Each structure stands twice: as structure tokens, then as C-alpha cells.
Amino acid sequence: EKPLQMQPEFIYPRNNTVEVELGSHLVMECNISSGINGLIPFWQVNDEDVDIFDETYREQFYEEGLPHGLAVSGTKFNISKVKVKDYAHKFFCHFIYGSQQFTAYIKLEYPARNIQGYLIGGGVSLVFFVFFTLFIYKIFKIDIVLWYRDSCHPFLGKKVSDEKIYDAYVLYPKNRESCLYSSDIFALKILPEVLERQCGYNLFILGRDDLPGEAVISVADEKIRQSRRVIIVLVPEPSCYSILEDESEKQLAIHSALIQDGIKVILIELEKIQDYATMPESIRYIKQKHGVIRWKGDFSERSHSASTRFWKKVRYQMPSRKSGSLSRLHL
């Protein structure tokens, strides 16, 4: 049977690129199929043999017979470690048939970056960072806000005056002999000591700053409108709520002003109140809307520091003050 006559052609390479990592091992192979024995392919780089381009690149030639008189001729060499220079040139494989030279090449390239992997990794990192930031902010929110007020407000422009005179209007139950909770001491001594003397706030305390003989309802209504906040001190014993029970008309005017004018209210419990059902509806409304801060200290000097957790919570809900007023505070 006569050998099958066919035009020699490249099996591999076919002018293709190969992605390979720098420093990795690679076998460069070139083979052709034909019906002619004795065709010898050879490698060249930059118009010179590969062993001249790099003396470690040693070609190995081979030829294999196939059925029907076909043959596969090839050459290969090993790149033990891919170098930077290997990416700069094409590796050409040649063979000569008749008076013609046939050529195919391989071009080495760096592996394409896994953009999807980077996007997924970046997205996961971003989500983790956001949740971590929110977690840290939730824990240290009060300290962060107080630090910001102390550190950053001096660099901000002056705010337009809100025409308010007082930073807070203080409302507290007048103490009765049957009460175990010294609301008078807290409202008239401890509260001014911390908020006025240490923090520089200006308070209006009903029972301290109002004048004898003044109409209580009109004074309260006027002073509340001149205040940025309203502090209401609560105690758990109903018998202590003389300010809420004996002066119901005054309380009606006060809480109407709070609800209508939208003034922020700070509720302070001197002791945990188990049931607010006996409280006036306005107090329940304010608690639901603004929450409550519970006093956990005592009436000793150590509870008079603005740096304790309780006073930080109160300061957090108070309006910000000028830097000079807070310069001596420490978080």
C-alpha cells in the first residue's frame, strides 16, 4: 500500500498563547503530522536557536510512525523555571518542506488576574468592615460622639443662634418625708454640680430658679420654650409624685408644650421603675419615644464625676457645648 500523500501541518502549536506563572515548570513541545519521514521541526527565539537564547533550553527531537504511512515529527525542550525574559518573546517552531518554511508560535503570558475572586474578596472584606465598624460604633457610640464634640467642634464654623437661653429645663418631684429617694438632692445638688460646674451647661431648675409668687404654669411654659432640652427626674414611689399629682394642671401645660414644640426630653430614673402604668400618659409617651437613663450611683462625691457612664449618657443626649466648656472633661 502506498503511503498516504498529505501536506505536512502543525499539530501543535497553532499560534496560541499559554498562561504560566513566573518560576513554574513548563514543557515546550512542537509536533507536525505528515506522510513524509525525516521532517525535523526546530525552535527559535528572537531569530536564534533556543539553546543560544538560553543554554539551559536543550531540544529533544523525536519521530513516531502512524498507521497508513503517516508520521509525527516533533521537538521539545524543558523550561525548569519560567523567567521574566520568556514573556518578552514568541517561541517559534519551524519546519522546511520543499522550498517553503512553515512556522507556528507560542507566546507565554502571565495568568490573568481572577477579577471575580478579587471582587468577591473585596466585597466580603467590605461587608465585614462595615459590620465591624457598626459593631464598634454601637458599643462606643457615646464615647465617640463626646470625643467628636470635644475634638472637632473647635474646627467647625459657628452655628446660627437658636435663641435659646437654657441648655435644659429640669423638672423633678418635690421630696416628701415618706420618700426613700432624695430627688431634691439629685436635682438641686448633683445635677448642677456635674452639668453646670463640670460641663458648663446652663440649667433652669424648677424650685431653684423660679421666683416666689410667679405663676407656675406661665413660668414653666416660658422657660421650656427657652430650653434646648427638658430633664425629668422620676422616682418609683407614686407617693413621691407631688409634681405630677398635686399640680396636674401645670403638668398638662408642660407636657403639651413638649409634645407640640418637639423639644427633646431626657428621662432619668433614680431607681428602676417596674411599672409605668401608674405614670401619666405623657411620661409613658416620652419614655417610648426617647427612652430612659437609670441612675446607678449614690450621693457620694465619687458619683459626681462627668466621666462616669451615667453622666456620659446624659451628656450624649444634651446639646453640644463650646470647646472651652468641655476642656477639662476626660472621656
CA distance 186 to 293: 14
DSSP three-state, residue 155: helix
Q: Where are the alpha helices (DSSP H) in the chain?
A: 50-53, 115-152, 183-185, 191, 216-225, 242-245, 248-261, 281-290, 309-317, 323-326
Q: How many residues does the chain have?
A: 331
Catalytic one among 249, 269, 271, 301?
Answer: 249
Cell readout for 159 is 452655628
Residue 171, strand partner residues? 232
Active site residue 249: yes
Nearest in space to 41 (alpha carbons), one of 106, 107, 108: 106
Q: For residues 207 and 170, what is the distance between their CA atoms, to the nearest angstrom?
A: 9
Which residue from 178, 177, 190, 169 is spatially nearest to 257, judged by alpha carbons?
A: 169
Beta strands in the chain (DSSP E): 9-12, 16-19, 26-34, 42-45, 48-49, 60-65, 71-79, 90-97, 100-109, 166-171, 203-205, 227-234, 264-269, 292-294
The alpha carbon dihedral of 139, 149, 156, 203 has a sign of: positive
User: Residue 227 — φ and ψ, nearest 5°?
Assistant: -115, 150
Distance, first Cα to last Cα, the chain: 100
**What strand order describes the sheet that includes 71-79?**
9-12, 26-34, 71-79, 60-65
Hey, which residues are catalytic here?
249
